[in-house]
Amino acid sequence: MRWSPPASAGAQVSFPGVTAYIRAMVTLPPPFQTWFASRGWSIHPHQQQMLDRSGAPTLLLIAPTGGGKTLAGFLPSLIELSEDPADGLHTLYVSPLKALAADIKRNLRTPVEEMGLRIRIEDRTGDTSQTQKKRQRADPPHILLTTPESLALLTSYEDAPRMFKGLQRVVVDEIHALAESKRGDQLMLGLARLNSLCPGLRRVGLSATVEDPAAIARLLARHPDPCEILNADPGPDPDIAMLMTDDPPPWAGGGGRYAIPAVLDEVKKHNTTLIFHNTRAQAEIFFHALWLANEDDLPIGIHHGSLAREQREKVEAAMVAGDLRAIVCTGSLDLGIDWGDVDLVIQVGAPKNVKRLVQRIGRANHRYNAPSKALLVPANRFEIVECHAALEAVKEHDLDGDPRGRGPRDVLCQHILITACAGPFEADTLYAEVITTGAYVNLTRPEFDDCLDFCATGGYALRAYDRWQRLMQRPDGQWQLRDPRAVRQIRMNIGTIWDYETLKVAWKGRGGGGRPLGEIEEGFASTLTHGDTFLIGGQVVRFEGMRELTVEVTRRADKEPKVATFNGTKFATSTQLSDRILRIFQQEDWPDLPEHTANWLRLQRKVSKLPEPERLLVESFPHDGRNHTVVYGFAGRNAQQTLALIVTQRMEEEGLHPLGFVATDYATLIWGLDPLQNADPLFDPDGLREGLEKWLSGNAVMKRTFKASAYIAGLLDKNFPQSARKSGRQATFSSDILYDTLHKYDPNHLLLQITREEALRGLIDFGRIETMIDRIGGRIDHSILDRVTPLAAPLFLEPGRIAIHGSGTERVIAEEAERLMMAAGLAS
Amino acid sequence: MNEYQIAFAGIPLIATASGALWWATERVLCVSDLHLGKSERIARRGGTLLPPYENRETLGRLQTDLDRYDPRVVVCLGDSFDDLRAADHLDAESTQTLVTLMAGRDWIWIEGNHDPGPMGFGGTHMRELSLPPLLFRHIAQPGADREVSGHYHPKKRITGRGRSVLRPCFLIDQKRVILPAYGAYTGGLDCETPVLADLVGPDAVAILVGKSVAAVPA
């Protein structure tokens, strides 16, 4: 092979100075040429570029769905393996979805078999059998397809150095999705580990279209290695519009049920339609209603992350076989499983985020260079404005996104424990390895040492665990687990997705152990009583009771269902979209919007006001036995949430008994027992700044954040070995107790520091509120009304309500207790 | 409201918001399921390293109740320690606090399933205690009468105005009182759970404790 400067192959190379890794135009070996020719294909320019630069330490390919991205990622591996099919792991492929790994395995085996290559390709996920997993460790395939969690588990085994010996390439698929979450941070720490085990390891990232490719390149590259960015042809602009219906959308509400006849018409007109929803609960309701209206018995399926694996696999198989005309789905189908013949994407509910919308649209039509077709279905009239803004943004190629902060330290704590599972380690070596990771480049040694100390001793001011350290230092200075049996517990709790407690739902069977249906949130399960009905997997089921930690249900379709609340991802509308909406509100009239929506905005303008950029609109009104206040800050969901936390604290001090709030990107809705008379003092800038300090000390969001970090950092275990489980439920207690205890006795503890950082990241810097305060300059319009306003109505259906545990709670308990005792004839 | 008056076995008793039972006429204070040393026990067994402050918190609460009621007799209704080794390994500060609390009064340690044997602390160690008309033991027995027990860590859910709250509670019927867990690191068992619901009569009352007290039908 000859190394030379890049040939001008029409490549858009972002780091033109980096040339050492670029080989001259690599010609495909004969079997590959024959195979491409037999398919009538020629190699895409970006596939050729990936091949030419395959020696580079890191490459990032940005390509639209259907652009042959996966083959571009694997082609260098296939060629290298065809030239030298030595035993052992050559390429590791990591994707955010188990299903994707299985799908890629299928797609990759086809060319390998057709070219007669002797390349072993296997996947390894949570679903792989124990026998298969054991065998893979002893005798790894050439190409292993896996997920970040399974990779973390692999690196925790003592034999990891042997298994990964000789690993040449790692391909991270859909890296744009991983880059947004802690799963990505965990993966990158894992890759740092792999690079230490295999110094020549090359990294490749495959990404959908994003607003800031350089940021993803920084995450992917092993610091300080460079990362070239290759851009594939983005293809033609999508064919996208709002779905017009005979009936206007409802005043409020989600789900888009009103549009079902129109959606069914579109399904009939197309081969295969994907119908995306923003939440699992909405997907369930929509699917149920769609099924009732489906008089032609079109084959339609449902797919979301809370459904049992068996259910999802059935739908996936039917889809691959081309047996389905439509699938109602959520983000679980956002990523690149190749469904073949999808020719229409329908997005129900406002897309919230332009980048994600563009990626979803890409799901329609996997033929390269044909425009994707998509329809937006606003769920209510507010969403018409949102959809309108989103369409404008797509036309202008104005993608959105928020920059990621530093690597979270709870993930690092878990990484330290995982490292310890594999065997003794040197602190210096591990630190040097961690700071090669993009997100942890700026991690200081003291910060690292705090994490190590937390893992070893708990890191408490009261040094209570000197005898029972989790990690201890050996005479030679290396760190190891004190109790080797702890590996089991640590391995069982690997992972960074711990948002909500969920319970399994299964059919009630004779002798127990009925077929699983899916999962619901524990909070929702706790509100169910015997005989209640809810929707799951598109079916109405009846709650029969709990069997250990499983919700048992029977078939019963005779009652209006409650709706299960799932732990599905909640999208935040991007700031860019919010700004567009605010600008639309300022128009004198709205000729571009449907008449009913324009009328609605006119009505809001008449009974109250429309929010303006230079003023703050606050509305107060009674509704459903409680007093409500809406603050239209348009500061983004996180800042609106921060605002709610501070404002409710001040309301509590003023004796208004606030009970809870919900925040969206535009507004905060607060409800409580007593009405707000004067909004001005609540939004006084100095008071708000002072309130932030108190806010940080204790509230529901902080506790929720703490809980997630406590699970990730290994302070709390979510999964226990079977033997430890019999101790029963009264042995487990709420993480809130730990938060309160730490806050009282050890306020500077690492986990509280992490919680604060997380809360500021999740709720965004107070700077956003500062910006809002500056923007409104004390100009507050407080409308006191006697009923819900048109603009406020949709807020009542927002998920993510947060309860305030203040004096209002005690009053509710007292009132309810009195009522119940009276009703029972027990009151004195 | 921080106290709730009940009449049980013909005598007046007070359920406190902290989860203690106060028998004013005999000056007996009863607390159950302190689970001292829980974090130490979990760490010793190779589990996670929980914040080691639960003894400080639990004994602090007890101190407040003792200061307020100045009991002649304190009955710890079992599971006072998370296991017997936890009693031996109690940290110096907590040991000191406990000894101070015990000074000058009768202190009864009832045996629990977590601490089924004598410990190296003063006081009297018993399986059960009869202080007529009441009988104190750790685990309620079916068919018993005038019985005061703990063990189950009862909790009660209350829902109103769209708010649902789960709180530790006393569970009381004509024949028995079941105390909530007093210890800081304790979970609970919902009163609706069959094992608890079957134990008490249909007219049972739950007294929720925590920030305030409130009684509801169980």
| Structural domains of chain B, count | 1
Question: How far apart (Å, rounded) are the C-alpha atoms in residues A614 and A305?
Answer: 41
**Structural domain boundaries, residue B91:** 3-217
Question: How far apart (Å, rounded) are the C-alpha atoms in residues A804 and A350?
Answer: 29
pLDDT surpassing 60 at residue B175:
yes
> Residue A657: its chain B contacts at CB < 8 A?
none
Query: pLDDT tens digit string along A604-628?
Result: 999 999 998 888 999 999 998 889 9
Whether residue B57 and residue A741 make contact (CB cut-off 8 A), yes or no, is yes
**ipTM of the complex model:** 0.91
Nearest CA to A634 out of A665, A662, A604 is that of A665
Question: How far apart (Å, rounded) are the C-alpha atoms in residues A337 and A98?
Answer: 10
Residue B124 distance to chain A (closest CA, Å): 27
Helix (H, G, I), strand (E, B) or coil at A510: coil
Residue A185 distance to chain B (closest CA, Å): 23
Write down the pLDDT at residue A816. 76
Whether residue A812 and residue B54 make contact (CB cut-off 8 A), yes or no, is no
What is the 8-class DSSP label of residue A258? G
What is the 8-class DSSP label of residue B50? -
Instruction: Pick B52's closest partner by Cβ from A460, A715, A826.
Output: A460
> Residue B188: its chain A contacts at CB < 8 A?
730, 733
Write down the pLDDT at residue A812. 73
Is A3 part of the contact surface with chain B (CB cutoff 8 Å)?
no
What is the 8-class DSSP label of residue A683? G
Instruction: Pick B44's closest partner by Cβ from A468, A486, A730.
Output: A468
Task: Name the strand (E) or helix (H) holding A521.
Answer: strand A516-521
Query: pLDDT tens digit string along B43-64?
Result: 988 888 999 999 999 999 999 9
Higher per-residue confidence, B95 vs A797: B95
**Is A508 within 8 Å of A516 (Cβ atoms)?**
no
Write down the pLDDT at residue A578. 80
DSSP letter for each residue of A729-787: GGG---HHHHHHHHHHH-TT-HHHHHHHHHHHHHS--THHHHHHHHHHTT-EEEEE-SS
Query: pLDDT tens digit string along A101-158?
Result: 877 888 888 889 999 999 999 999 877 889 999 999 999 999 999 999 999 999 999 9
Residue B72 distance to chain A (closest CA, Å): 30
Write down the pLDDT at residue A669. 94
Instruction: Pick B187's closest partner by Cβ from A483, A731, A815.
Output: A731
Q: Distances from the Cα of A728 to the Cαs of A58, A450, A522, B38, B153, in angstroms?
A: 49, 34, 17, 15, 12
Can you say whether the dihedral through the CA atoms of A285, A288, A294, A295 is positive or negative?
A: negative
Question: How far apart (Å, rounded) are the C-alpha atoms in residues B211 and B141?
Answer: 30
Whether residue B53 and residue A741 make contact (CB cut-off 8 A), yes or no, is yes
**Is-cis flag, bond preceding A224, omega within 30?**
yes
Whether residue B48 and residue A715 make contact (CB cut-off 8 A), yes or no, is yes
Q: Sheet harboring B124-126: ordered strands across? A: B3-8, B11-16, B21-23, B28-31, B73-76, B106-110, B124-126
- Encoded amino acid at B159, one letter: T
> Residue B48: its chain A contacts at CB < 8 A?
470, 714-717
> Residue B160: its chain A contacts at CB < 8 A?
812-813, 815-816, 819
Task: List A residues 733-772 in contact with B (Cβ-Cβ < 8 A).
Answer: 733-734, 737-738, 741-742, 744-746, 749
Whether residue A741 and residue B217 make contact (CB cut-off 8 A), yes or no, is no
Write down the pLDDT at residue A826. 63
The runs of H, that is alpha helices, within A458-563 are 486-492, 522-525
Residue B136 belongs to domain with CATH number: 3.60.21
Which residues lie closer than 8 Å to A335 by C-beta, 6 or more apart? Answer: A95, A96, A97, A100, A174, A177
Which residues lie closer than 8 Å to B196 by C-beta, 6 or more apart? Answer: B152, B154, B171, B178, B189, B190
Residue A292 distance to chain B (closest CA, Å): 31
Whether residue A813 and residue B165 make contact (CB cut-off 8 A), yes or no, is yes
Domains of chain A: 30-231 (3.40.50.300), 239-395 (3.40.50.300), 409-492 (no CATH), 502-563 (no CATH), 608-812 (no CATH)
DSSP letter for each residue of A555-609: E--SSPPEEPPP----PPPPHHHHHHHHHHHTSS--TTS-HHHHHHHHHHHHHS-
**Low-confidence residues in chain A, pLDDT < 70:** 1-24, 66, 251-254, 334-340, 365-369, 401-403, 498-502, 510-513, 522-524, 526-529, 546-549, 557-573, 693-701, 720-732, 760-767, 797-800, 805-807, 824-828
Helix (H, G, I), strand (E, B) or coil at B30: strand
Helix (H, G, I), strand (E, B) or coil at A818: helix
Cα nearest neighbour of A823 on chain B = B217
Cα nearest neighbour of B155 on chain A = A730
